[in-house]
Structure 1
Amino acid sequence: YTILTDLTKSLTLSTSIPWTCGVIWELVIEQVLALIIIVDQYTNFLKKTNDCMHEIYYSDLPARDPSINLEVYTIDADSNDIIKEIYE
């Protein structure tokens, strides 16, 4: 997260260097600015996801309710039967 934030700060500073203000660099600078926006959005997504997972990990409540969508199968110990069950 911090590495990406530092990257966007560095790219932003790079776009303001005097020699990048020339006409030749306009398309490059536009693409760099677009990249900065994308990396910022991705960084925000990672931050939110990390915060959410951190909350779930340290919560006393289970992340899933085992009574919902729980299917239990009884499978014979013979490996051929197990393979048949999997591919049916």
Structure 2
Amino acid sequence: FLGHFPYQAPIFHHFACFRKDTEIHSLTSRLEDEQSLVVKLQRQIKELLARIQELEEELEAERQARYKAEKTRSEMQNELEELGDRLDEAG
């Protein structure tokens, strides 16, 4: 086929190279998009990890406050019972 039309071989080669260049450009563009997405997702992960750390610290502070409040309540309950006992003894 190409033997009959020798001028067509360079044209076919040119189009094949053009297709490859277009494919390379498309893949490069896709790679850049994927890399941008990775950077975006890494940033989101970093932000979410920071938020998790913040929430864990808040949770620990709440636990400590609850423990302190429960301890104070228990101490006051004991004191109230002691006062009630002394009142009964005095009365």
TM-score (norm: length of structure 2): 0.41
Structure with the bigger RCO (C-alpha within 8 Å, sep 6+) is: 1
Higher alpha-carbon Rg: 2
**Larger helix share, 1 or 2:** 2
TM-score (norm: length of structure 1): 0.42
